[in-house]
Amino acid sequence: MLDRPDDATLLALALETLQERLLPHLKGEDKLTGLLIARALAIVQSDGSDDHARQQSIAEIARLLDAAPEKSLADAKRHLAAAIRNRRFAAGTPEAVRLRDHLLHDTAARLRLVNLKYMAARQRRAESSV
Amino acid sequence: MSILQHRTALIDFIARETGSKVIELEIEGKLGGGAIQENWSLSLVLEGGPHAGKLALVLRTDAATGIAESRSRVQEFALIKAAHDAGMTVPEPLWLDESGTVIGKPFTILRRLSGVAEPRLVLGRLSDLAESGEVEEPGEVLVRHLGQELARLHQVTPAQAPAGLGFLSTAGHDLIRQRVADYRRWLDRLPEAQPVLEWALNWIEDRAPEVERVTLCHRDFRLGNIMIEDSELRGILDFEFAGWSDPDEDLGWFCARCWRFGAYDKEAGGLGSKASLFSGYAEVSGRQPDPRRVRYWEIVAALRWALIALDQGERCLAGGERKIELALTALRAIECEYDLLLEIDDYDAPPKPPRHKHAEGTQGGEN
């Protein structure tokens, strides 16, 4: 583990260097590849090691399943997915509403990390409903 | 291994298939696009036989790794031929090697089309044409044409299927139930559980409309698989997912938000209106698509694209292709999940009262 510079600082510097010194000079396919790398680094930078959000999500899933919290988010999601498939959340019940709220909250949080622009466009709801 | 090393074997193959003398074969290089296939540009000059003269061609073969839903080159060749025979504008399918002995894997050779398929280029060109006034409403004209193209393909039914399509799985009134079962198996193969997709699948199962007709469907009909030159359609590409299905699946896939490439207000593929698409479709098929059924299939499209995106990610994370673009594609599934949650809510919401006249003419408002 590094303290000075720490992981976050090194990552931020790598991203800045790519964006300011390399990307302006790239063209065509290379530019596209450079942008993809910048995007990947930016996603890692936003995500960080947000253990608090992960623990919150585990706790929320435990409440939905009325069970003890799982050790990992992957395990919690696996149990939640199985419960959904087994129709544990009957349509029209408060449990189904809480489930939908959780799914929307969790998805919005992940989308904010990877593509905030998409979310903003989605919320404008430019398209009509038939 | 590159096909450049198999030039002599390719010349022998073409000579055998055509009964012509190969005067020149130039392998011009790999074409862009095609995450699941490799496409190579060929230039050929033949002497004698039915194809004598200069030919611009594409050789299509498998990439290093594929995805679960994709078809083999042999099957794809039969599907393009069926579409071509039905009058759809597609690259003419010429020759097929199913043995894999010529270049080390099966391949097809098709006539190469002019134009571009890359969605941003297509949308940019259409926008330039519209701004310059050179073509009036180029997107609407194109969308109407695309509706006609889909209707031609949808004239092929299991009852009158060409013999070459015998490999296609049958589909009937239980098509959606089968599809839901397939997608659940697909979810089971993924390394991580997907609660939103499970939730959406339950909805898709519960709200399934009656399947009234089954036809040959492209099942990946969208920008990126459509060659366009200026505002003119040059051909429909990529039949690797084609099969028997509800024809509204193609319309829903084309209109799904995930295939509008940022032009979200243009509900028909980011190009134009659903009204133009449906009108073109009805001109050829005689059937006016039901907007609500198409919306149902848009929701199915979001789920299916999420599964494909996750599969693409696994090609990088667990397969042999260490490419950053594949890893980032997996993240597109999150956009689909968000769409699914909102679209399903919209679909289930009671119909909205008609707008007052004074509110009309504004764009981008809340609906």
Smallest CA–CA distance from A76 into chain B, residue = B193
Q: What's the pLDDT at B235? A: 97
B256 shares contact with chain A (CB less than 8 Å): no
Mean pLDDT value of segment B225-237:
94
- pTM for the model stands at 0.88
- C-alpha to C-alpha distances, A11 to A15, B70, B303, nearest whole angstrom: 6, 38, 34
Q: Is the pLDDT of residue A126 over 50?
A: no
* CB < 8 Å to B294, chain A: 130
Whole-angstrom distance, CA of residue B172 vs CA of residue B357: 44
Least confident range from B68-77, B130-139, B341-350: namely B68-77
Cross-chain Cβ contact A126/B331 below 8 Å: no
Q: How sure is the predictor about A125, in pLDDT bands with cuts at 50, 70 and 90?
A: low
pLDDT tens for each residue of B158-179: 998 988 899 999 988 899 999 9
Q: Is the pLDDT of residue B316 over 60?
A: yes
Cross-chain Cβ contact A128/B335 below 8 Å: no
The interface pTM score, or ipTM, of the predicted complex is: 0.88
Element (H, E) at B43: strand B37-47
Q: Sign of the CA dihedral A7, A8, A11, A16? A: negative
DSSP string, B215-272: EEE-S--STTSEEEETTEEEEE---TT-EEE-HHHHHHHHHSGGGSTT-TT-TBTTTB
- C-alpha to C-alpha distances, B354 to A41, B192, B351, nearest whole angstrom: 46, 43, 9
Smallest CA–CA distance from B261 into chain A, residue = A118
Smallest CA–CA distance from A77 into chain B, residue = B193
Selection from B328, B34, B331, B118 nearest residue A38 by Cα: B328
Q: What's the pLDDT at B69? A: 56
Q: What's the pLDDT at A83? A: 98
Q: What's the pLDDT at A49? A: 60
Q: Is the pLDDT of residue B352 over 80?
A: no
Mean pLDDT value of segment B132-142:
91
Q: What's the pLDDT at B346? A: 93
Average pLDDT, chain B: 91
Higher pLDDT, B357 or B77: B77
Cross-chain Cβ contact A74/B199 below 8 Å: no
Q: What's the pLDDT at A128? A: 39
Q: Using CB atoms, pick whichever of B331, B339, B363 lies closest to residue A114.
A: B331
Cross-chain Cβ contact A40/B328 below 8 Å: yes
Element (H, E) at B93: strand B93-97
| pLDDT > 70 fraction of chain A, expressed in percent and rounded | 91
pLDDT tens for each residue of B259-302: 999 999 999 999 999 999 999 999 999 999 999 999 999 999 99
